[in-house]
Chains A and B, each alone.
Chain A
Amino acid sequence: MPGKTKVLKKPTRTLADQSYLVEVVKGLGTTLKHFFQGTGQMVSGRVPNAVTDPLAEGISTLSYPEEKRAYSERWRGVHRLTHRDDGSPRCVACLCCSTACPAQCIYIKPGEYPEGDKRRGYERYPVEFVIDELRCIFCGFCVEACPCDAIRMDTGTHMTAFDVKSDFVYDKDKLMSMVSQHGTQKSENPRHEPGDSGHPGIDRLHGGH
């Protein structure tokens, strides 16, 4: 006979367990005990400080706007559009983010730079850039998709509650005005403008192939 068979005992359920009623009363007892403990602590002012003593027994709520726990660097908050040195958006209106977005909540209207602008021919710019933050599922795919590090979710800001649905639709100006957790509107990644020494210089008109 191969190996030994270990027979596990089925957990027994008494009639009291099955009737559910006894367990309900027990559960109520537990929660009532907690209720009176909590109320006692609250009334007598013996409430542990959540920041200095977060694992203490009893009430340990953070007083949110005044006390905050830091979010991790990777936490995804409301979007922002990063700036170039001259304050224009880094976005080149490639539509990668709106294509990647599973909620289809990004709308971009791309535009060409005017004749004579040194960026013309290399890239476009967003005339309109709209994100419906109410539809957004905060998956971060747009950030992953962007080739220019132009869209980021490092603002450390929650979506605020508004009274009207249209307030949740963030336009380009609003997105450009958001700042990162560290207070910058730019991105740490370098950016080379056409004509800079680091610019690869490849485009449709001047490229070798």
Chain B
Amino acid sequence: MLFWISTTLKVLVVVGFLAQVAALLLWVERKQSAMMQSRIGPNRATIKIGSLEIRAAGLVHSIADGIKMVWKADWEPTGGDHLLYRLAPIVAIVPALCLCAVLPFGPTVFIDHGRDLYDPAWATDAATLARSVPLQIANLDVGVLFIFAIAGAGVIGAALAGWSSDNKFSLMGGLRAASQMVSYEVAMGLSLVGAMMIYQTVRLDEMVTWQTQHVWGIFVQPVAFVLFVTAAIAETKRVPFDTPEGESELVAGYFTEYAGLKMAMFASGEFVEVCVSSALITTIFLGGWQFPFVQLTGLEFHYLGLNISWHWAHFVVVLVGFITFCLKCAFLIFMQLQVRWTLPRFRYDQIMKLGWRMLLPAALLNVLVTGTVLLFLNSGNG
């Protein structure tokens, strides 16, 4: 019973949040780029209640945009495949939403022990375990592999949209999206092999646990971090990897022929992807929900000759973990948007070269080096 209630709640919260995130990120992107480029950015949309004017620093623009999108003419190309045309936006956005199902966004909550100090025995006690809620929608054994499988499915939406629109620009965009995402999928997967070897698991919650007990993934796998971030940005199809929709060449690429809400689905799918990839990077490389030096029992600082142990109640630790996770994601999203407004678009052949001739060999080398080092370390131990 508890399982069903908590899972439903988690799904509602996470999907509800991701549905809003596009509107929020639209505002962040506009305002952030404006601040960078010495502009003011959105500030005009207003909600008037009597003499009260709500502008919320331009946040109202997102609402105005939503309303506008709903009222736009739902135009469809007369040629092409109508069924696939309507299916494509859904196929594009659903995988992005599915991805967040396996991401742990906080430590496991033991409901009956809210005020107690964490005790490792809880995790093995069947009765306590039955009354616990992991802050993760689905705790899959295949973890990371599930993410690769689903993230790979996202490309189908773009390819379908390009194919079914009966427009050569769209087709080119769809082709580019497909080849780009397939290429970077390879580098992305291989870059994580090193991390999996060190964590000795593909389960995301265990990866976070490893990082809380040892050290964040970015310190043991710095090369993989850079490779993975690059590949993740490429997967979101945003600048500098946005040749699938490159305005200056392809009008709007694979969604040229989409209008109104269908167009909005592609656009918001992109933001959801940014969000999910940030959460993924946080989980695998930045210690997930762990705040530096905070363990499940509270603050533990035993370095530089200091010996600080500040014990917190279980719920406080959970809350700190959740907030830390959100902050880390927010930071990564901010950086991804900053990259988007900093770098110019790559040429298409440059993207392919970067993927196959730089990232892929580097990822393979990373696997080799990690494996060798691990072998030596382990033989030393054994």
Contact = CB atoms under 8 A, between A and B. Distances in A.
Contacts of B34: 38
Nearest to B40: A61
Interface residues of B, number: 20
B35 A35 contact: yes
Nearest to B240: A24
Given A24-B343, A164-B73, A31 B338 contact: yes
A32 B75 CA distance: 40
Interface string A1-40: 0000000000000000000010010011011101100110
B38 A38 contact: yes
Nearest to A42: B35
Q: Specify the main secondary structure of chain A where it touches its partner.
A: helix
A23 to B, nearest CB: 9
A24 B346 CA distance: 13
A158 to B, nearest CB: 16
Contact of A165 (B40, B75, B338, B343): B75
Contact of B226 (A21, A30, A32, A164): A21
A39 B39 CA distance: 10
Given A58-B38, A59-B39, A61-B39, A35 B343 contact: no
A163 interface: yes
B32 interface: yes
A57 B38 CA distance: 8
B343 A27 contact: yes
B301 interface: no
A163 B72 CA distance: 5
Contacts of B38: 34, 38, 57-60
Interface of B: 32, 34-40, 68, 71-73, 75, 226, 335, 338-339, 341-343
Contacts of A58: 38
Given A34-B36, A38-B38, A165 B73 contact: yes
Interface of A: 21, 24, 27-28, 30-32, 34-35, 38-39, 42, 47, 57-61, 163-165
A24 B336 CA distance: 12
25 contacts: A24-B339, A24-B342, A24-B343, A27-B342, A28-B335, A28-B339, A28-B342, A30-B342, A31-B342, A32-B338, A34-B35, A34-B36, A34-B37, A34-B38, A35-B32, A35-B36, A38-B34, A38-B35, A38-B38, A39-B35, A47-B40, A57-B38, A59-B40, A163-B71, A163-B72
A32 B339 CA distance: 10
A27 B72 CA distance: 38
Given A163-B73, A165-B73, A165-B75, A31 B226 contact: no
Contacts of A28: 335, 338-339, 342
Contacts of A42: 35, 40
Contacts of A57: 38
A30 B32 CA distance: 14
A39 B37 CA distance: 11
A131 B341 CA distance: 38
Contact of B341 (A21, A24, A31, A39): A31
- Can you list the 9 inter-chain pairs with the closest CB atoms, starting with the nearest? A38-B35, A61-B40, A164-B73, A31-B342, A35-B36, A39-B35, A27-B342, A34-B36, A35-B35
Given A39-B35, A59-B38, A164-B73, 16 more contacts: A24-B339, A28-B335, A28-B339, A31-B342, A32-B338, A34-B36, A34-B38, A35-B32, A35-B35, A38-B34, A38-B35, A38-B36, A42-B35, A58-B38, A60-B38, A61-B39
Contacts of A31: 36, 338, 341-342
Contacts of B72: 163
Contacts of A165: 73, 75
Contacts of A27: 342-343
A35 B341 CA distance: 11
Nearest to A32: B338
Contacts of B36: 31, 34-35, 38
A21 B339 CA distance: 12
A58 B34 CA distance: 11
Contacts of B68: 163
Most buried by A among B341, B342, B343: B342
A149 B68 CA distance: 38
A24 B341 CA distance: 12
A68 to B, nearest CB: 15
A155 to B, nearest CB: 23
A58 B36 CA distance: 10
A113 to B, nearest CB: 39
Nearest to A30: B342
A152 B161 CA distance: 40
A61 B342 CA distance: 20
